[in-house]
Structure 1
Amino acid sequence: MSTTPTTTPTTTPTAAPDVAPGADAAPITLVTGASSGIGQSAALEVARGGSGVVLTYRGNPDGAGRTVRQIEEIGGTAVALPLDTARTGTFPAFAEQVARTLQDTWHSAHLTGLVNNAGSSRPAAFADTSEDALDELGDVLFKGPFFLTQALLPLLADGASIVNVSSSSTRPFGMTPGFSAYAAFKGAVVVWSRYLAKELGTRGIRVNTVAPGPTRTRLGGDAFARHPELIAPLAENTALGRIGEGADVGRVIAFLLSEQAGWITGQDIDVSGGYDL
């Protein structure tokens, strides 16, 4: 069963049903920005592991539909919902929509996984970065995941797992001019995730981040497709000799969501193929 709504409801949010921990029968993971790239791959990988998937998209409904169909082709169940992670005022209504989707599709009351992947990238030299551009990046990269996680917290089961996507640009190597604002907000995600791991540990909820290196995604206006000449220099600076693909990161996200990673929390995992070693 799958649906792809085209509007976001505006009804008043309600609390999640009172269901005892462990009462839900199957894992269900919400992945933001899953219409392409890392988010799409993460959705497919968690579905292969037996998880139902609620996936979100903003400007690419066709891509979201493809993700749903691919999950269905491997025997999984997925629902695609529209979400702009920069519009925090819509989050309470979105949480209510997720609660209804859980009940209608899986007869469940809880999510067992959350992947904050949706992002944006607009390279600009520090001297040319405007206040509006900084606010726009901050809303998508940090403020959005922060308050979306807060809105979804009542729906997260005890023992759930959260994976936030950071970036290798936060590391003291491989720094590229033009990404100071982007990297600063991704660094904030890493620090926030570490504190969240501490705060939510009392509920058995694990929180980790993954830090992709140069990876083929639609960020930056599908930059690698428009400028393929960028790929070779990055591949030459990567120990494994190529840039990353969405599946490279998606598999690590799926692992961190799984029981096999049950003793890992508060960590930022480099997933870069050895970029700039």
Structure 2
Amino acid sequence: MQVAIVTGASSGIGQSAAIRIAARGTGVILTYGRNRQGAADAVATIEKAGGTAVALHLDLGDSAGFDAFRDSVAEALRTTWSRDTFDHLVNNAGIAQASLIEDTAEEDFDRLMRVLLKGPYFLTQRLLPLMADGGSVVNVSSSAAAATSGLEPGYAAYASMKGGLSVLTRYMAKEFSPRGIRVNAVSPGATRTRLADDAFTRFPEVVPAIAAKTAFGRVGEPDDVGALIATLVGDESRWITAQDIEVSGGYQL
């Protein structure tokens, strides 16, 4: 059985991706930050459908904890799947915070950098020795970083980090290709998740305006993105690497 690691899988896109990947017969190690119950719910959903999953805590903004996390992954692989390697890594965990450039505090900028760019960079580095040849990495970027996306004031820092992740995706694809490891990014548009302190729930009035700018007339749902992530780690995507695929339902089309 193949095994995938999905970070930030206690809700939203990560949870959908974990469930979708497990439905394909792949074991899942899913991570959570503060939402332990959400992670437990995801594990229960996967197990109810006949799959296998393990939830581990991970603070993506604290790279000092990555070695201990790698050890926890190795232990889970041995005890749950009798393996010493895993096959796929989905770098999904993230945070969002909006502020104009003139109002951005340096500590907020650094926090976004640690979670959105430094975190995936060094977590992938630490986990590479445990990763099997011929596997895959999927980085969750954002359409906010795309040159063709409509720019929204207040997202300069967030989009800059996500843009860095998209560039990192191409370099990972180049460097990991001798091992047959594919690396791609997905860039969701506006998606109804708990990001930015559950912004869509707190500010429902923004939804109609976003939907009006979207070709399919609605905002995205987590499963719209999770389904693609599951496809990218699947064998049918074996000839795809170094791509950044926008998943926005035609935003600003």
Per the TM alignment, residue 171 of structure 1 is displaced from its structure 2 partner at its CA by 1.2
Structure with the higher helix share, 1 or 2: 2
1:130 paired residue among 86, 105, 108: 105
Per the TM alignment, residue 40 of structure 1 is displaced from its structure 2 partner at its CA by 0.2
Q: Which runs of 5+ in 1 are unaligned?
A: 1-25
Task: Tell me the alpha carbon deviations over residues 200-257 of structure 1, each in whole angstroms, 9 at most, x when there is no partner.
Answer: 0000000000000000111110000111111111011100111011000000000000
1:148 paired residue among 78, 100, 123: 123
Letter in 1 for 2:146: R
Does 1:184 pair with 2:160? yes
Letter in 2 for 1:102: L
Q: Which runs of 5+ in 2 are unaligned?
A: none
User: Identity percentage over the alignment?
Assistant: 54
Q: How does 1:147-226 map to 2 (within 5 A)?
A: 147-172=122-147, 173-226=149-202
Does 1:248 pair with 2:206? no
Does 1:39 pair with 2:35? no
Per the TM alignment, residue 65 of structure 1 is displaced from its structure 2 partner at its CA by 0.6
2:80 paired residue among 83, 105, 110: 105
Does 1:58 pair with 2:29? no
TM-score by length of 1: 0.90
Number of matched residues?
252
Task: Tell me the alpha carbon deviations over residues 90-118 of structure 1, each in whole angstroms, 9 at most, x when there is no partner.
Answer: 10111011001000000011111100000
Task: Tell me the alpha carbon deviations over residues 25-81 of structure 1, each in whole angstroms, 9 at most, x when there is no partner.
Answer: x11000000000000000000001111000000010010011001101111010000
Per the TM alignment, residue 130 of structure 1 is displaced from its structure 2 partner at its CA by 1.3
Letter in 2 for 1:239: A
Indicate the residue corresponding to 1:267 in structure 2: 243
Per the TM alignment, residue 273 of structure 1 is displaced from its structure 2 partner at its CA by 0.4
Task: Tell me the alpha carbon deviations over residues 144-167 of structure 1, each in whole angstroms, 9 at most, x when there is no partner.
Answer: 010000000011100010000000
1:115 paired residue among 87, 90, 99: 90
Letter in 1 for 2:44: R
Partners of 1:236 and 1:51 in 2: CA distance: 38
TM-score by length of 2: 0.99
Aligned to 1:269, what secondary structure does the other structure show? strand
Per the TM alignment, residue 86 of structure 1 is displaced from its structure 2 partner at its CA by 0.4
Indicate the residue corresponding to 1:84 in structure 2: 59
Aligned to 1:239, what secondary structure does the other structure show? coil
Per the TM alignment, residue 84 of structure 1 is displaced from its structure 2 partner at its CA by 0.3
